[in-house]
Structure 1
Amino acid sequence: MTLTHDPDRRRDIAHVGPVELYTPALEKSRDFFVDQLALREVHRDAESVYLHTWDDYQSWTLRLIQRDRAGVGRTYLRAASPEALDRAAALIGTTRVADDVRGLGPVHLFADPDGHELGLYYDVDWYAADDADRPALKNQAAAYPGRGANVRRLDHVNYLTADVPATVAFLSDVLGARCTEQIVKDDGSPQAVWYSVGQKTYDLVYTEDWTGSRGRLHHIAFATDTREEILRAADVCLDAGVHIETGPHKHAIQQTFFLYVWEPGGNRIELCNAGARLILAPDWKTISWTAAERAKGQAWGLKTIETFHTHGTPVVP
């Protein structure tokens, strides 16, 4: 399947914004993100905790929500301008607008073909550092935490989907995203796709769900400044009893240095660093990886563990 992108198309989505994560162990999940990943708690209500990565300009990065099962809630996408918000909302065909989302609003709600809920917004509250995390540099959102993995920002979300081709059409035709890399089956159809909505190499990833289920999560990823912080995170997670699933290794796809762990609620979390790799070409041609090429494994590191291909949240039989 050949994927193309129109470089003349207006990019109405600026970047992926905050993400909601469901967890059956709210306080333990909160402690993991604060103590091991170095996010900061900035607000809580009766059912959730809001957390902030130290260099996110927005008021919060991750909302942990108490639920019976782990999984992903809404993923929010920031439009490039108020006019872009109106254009994108009209193209997507959003049917409901929420004006009660903390720090965002109004939010145009919609879903991808697999049922993952998304929200499109422009107005946003910027993060206001206090005396406890005020940075020395005024062009930084908050002070460098100096603990755990020191994750700088949310990097990407990787969903599981029952229908990759339908998702491809949605990402390309509706969101105006571009596919930078993909895994293709022997018949040429996509099995996993990496899409960029802004200026990064990838923001939204969709992988075929082997169970045929809909609306599940593979992982969310946080970016670190250096590879060393990922190595340190492995030690930190080891001491804290956090389940280390695989890594640190290096992906061939997107060349990302990575560590995958399971937070206490059961969701897979990736710590990642892609170095200085950027895709600057406006006419970038999608890189396709065949099944035979993927069978060779990672760029380097140990063989991918089986649970990486089978575990998703919520867990299904």
Structure 2
Amino acid sequence: MASDVEPNQNFLQNELGFNLRELKLGEEKTQIGAWLSVSNLVHEIAMVRDASGQKGRLHHVAFWYGYPQHLFDIADLCADYGIEIEMGPGKHGTTQAYFLYIYEPGGNRIELFGDSGYLIFDPDWETVVWDVSNKSDLEKSSIWFEPRLPESFYNYGTPSVQPVKQTIK
């Protein structure tokens, strides 16, 4: 999570050689999310604007679990062992990756994914831009079918902090 996405995205691109693969723009074209990679993967790092206005919070860490069917298998195991599932298995609009979000005992969100989304081989790739200034486009970019992601997906991060009173555009 980032209090301001654009300078972080610029650092990754200009200083570390990342390519901007997908971008979410909110009101007044403010960057609220960026997905970047240094390889042909659709993303190796992503950042989203922290609605609390804080710095230094984690949205989630992701681990490749195998193929999409494996996500259903691990969802069954999570249910059997009482591991909290926040959402999934499902598929994101952004990156087209399959996912399962769970919480580890310390409260951090973990994403297990069963593929890498799409691969990019075109050297002239143009960034996919999502205009999420309206809620329906935000939801389509987050998940491509019902049910929608829970509100916690958009505002929960660790460490938990008291929100700063501000308007995020």
Higher helix share: 2
| Mapping for residues 203-214 of structure 1, pairs under 5 Å | 203-214=44-55
Query: Does residue 95 of structure 2 align to residue 271 of structure 1?
Result: no
Secondary structure, aligned partner of 1:172 = helix
Higher strand share: 1
- In 1, are the aligned partners of 2:41 and 2:116 still within 8 Å (CA)? no
Residues 264/314 of structure 1: CA separation in 2 closer, same or farther (3 Å cut): same
CA distance in 2 between counterparts of 1:306 and 1:175 reads 33
- In 1, are the aligned partners of 2:66 and 2:113 still within 8 Å (CA)? no
Q: Which among 151, 155, 167 is matched to residue 310 of structure 1?
A: 155
CA distance in 2 between counterparts of 1:316 and 1:268 reads 15
Query: Once the 2 structures are TM-superposed, how far is the Cα of residue 189 of structure 1 from its aligned partner?
Result: 2.2
Task: Name structure 1 gaps, 5 residues minimum.
Answer: 1-159
Q: Which among 238, 241, 261 is matched to residue 79 of structure 2?
A: 238
Query: Once the 2 structures are TM-superposed, how far is the Cα of residue 246 of structure 1 from its aligned partner?
Result: 0.7
Query: Once the 2 structures are TM-superposed, how far is the Cα of residue 198 of structure 1 from its aligned partner?
Result: 2.5
Secondary structure, aligned partner of 1:162 = coil
Letter of the 1:186 partner, please give it.
Answer: E
Secondary structure, aligned partner of 1:218 = coil
Residues 275/168 of structure 1: CA separation in 2 closer, same or farther (3 Å cut): closer
Q: How many residues align?
A: 158
| Stretch of structure 1 that moved more, 227-236 or 276-285 | 276-285
- TM-score when normalising by structure 1: 0.48
CA distance in 2 between counterparts of 1:169 and 1:257 reads 27
Letter of the 2:29 partner, please give it.
Answer: G
Residues 275/312 of structure 1: CA separation in 2 closer, same or farther (3 Å cut): closer
Give the aligned partner of residue 67 of structure 2.
226
Which has the greater radius of gyration?
1
Secondary structure, aligned partner of 1:284 = coil
> What percent of counterpart residues are identical?
36
Give the aligned partner of residue 88 of structure 2.
247
CA distance in 2 between counterparts of 1:175 and 1:236 reads 38
Q: Say which structure, 1 or 2, has more relative contact order (CA 8 Å, 6+ apart).
A: 2
CA distance in 2 between counterparts of 1:279 and 1:300 reads 24
Query: Once the 2 structures are TM-superposed, how far is the Cα of residue 276 of structure 1 from its aligned partner?
Result: 6.8
Query: Once the 2 structures are TM-superposed, how far is the Cα of residue 275 of structure 1 from its aligned partner?
Result: 5.8
Query: Once the 2 structures are TM-superposed, how far is the Cα of residue 179 of structure 1 from its aligned partner?
Result: 0.7
Query: Once the 2 structures are TM-superposed, how far is the Cα of residue 277 of structure 1 from its aligned partner?
Result: 2.4
CA distance in 2 between counterparts of 1:197 and 1:260 reads 25
Q: Deviations over 1:173-223 (max 9, x none)?
A: 111101100110131221000000233211111110111111111001111
Give the aligned partner of residue 180 of structure 1.
21
Query: Does residue 135 of structure 2 align to residue 294 of structure 1?
Result: no
Task: Name structure 2 gaps, 5 residues minimum.
Answer: 163-169
Q: State the 4+ residue runs in structure 1 displaced beyond 4 angstroms.
A: none
CA distance in 2 between counterparts of 1:266 and 1:280 reads 37
CA distance in 2 between counterparts of 1:268 and 1:295 reads 19
Q: Deviations over 1:66-94 (max 9, x none)?
A: xxxxxxxxxxxxxxxxxxxxxxxxxxxxx
